[in-house]
Amino acid sequence: MSMVSLRSLLDAATAGRYAVGAFNCNNMEIVQAIIGAAEKEASPVIIQASQGAIKYAGLEYIAALVRVAAEKSGVPVALHLDHGTSFAQAMQCIRAGFTSVMFDGSALPLEENIAITRRIVEVAHAVGVSVEAELGRIPGTEDELSVAEQQALFTAPDQASEFAAATGVDALAVAVGTAHGHYKGEPKLDFPRLAQIASQVPVPLVLHGSSGVPDDAIRQAVSLGIRKINIDTDVREAFSGSLRETLAAQATQTDPRKILGPAREAMEEVVRRKMRVFGCAGRAG
Ligand code: G3H
Ligand code: 13P
Ligand code: ZN
- Is the whole model's pTM more than 0.85, yes or no? yes
Q: Which residues contact 34 (CB under 8 A, 6 or more apart)?
A: 23, 25, 45, 47, 69, 235, 267, 268, 271
pLDDT at 285: 85
Q: Give the CATH number, domain containing residue 80.
A: 3.20.20.70
One-letter amino acid at 260 equals: L
Residue 20 inside a domain? The answer is: yes
Nearest atom of ligand 2 to the alpha carbon of 138: 8
Residue 1 and residue 212: Cα distance in Å, rounded? 31
Closest C-alpha residue for ligand 1 atom 10? 52
How many folded domains does the chain comprise?
Answer: 1
Q: What is the DSSP letter of 141?
A: G
Active-site residue 11, yes or no? Answer: no
Cα dist from 125 to 84, 190, 250, whole Å: 16, 32, 51
Residue 161 inside a domain? The answer is: yes
- Asked if residues 246 and 218 have their Cβ atoms less than 8 Å apart, the reply is no
Q: Which ligand places an atom closest to the C-alpha of 141?
A: 2
pLDDT at 30: 98
Tens digits of residue pLDDT in 81-92: 999 999 999 999
Residue 144 inside a domain? The answer is: yes
- Asked if residues 143 and 179 have their Cβ atoms less than 8 Å apart, the reply is yes
Q: What is the DSSP letter of 177?
A: S
Residue 31 inside a domain? The answer is: yes
Residue 273 inside a domain? The answer is: yes
H or E element in which residue 251 lies? none
Which stretches of the chain drop beneath a pLDDT of 70?
none
Residue 58 inside a domain? The answer is: yes
Range of the domain at 253: 6-278
Closest C-alpha residue for ligand 2 atom 1? 209
Residue 239 inside a domain? The answer is: yes
Residue 187 inside a domain? The answer is: yes
Q: Is the CB of 24 under 6 A from ligand 1?
A: yes
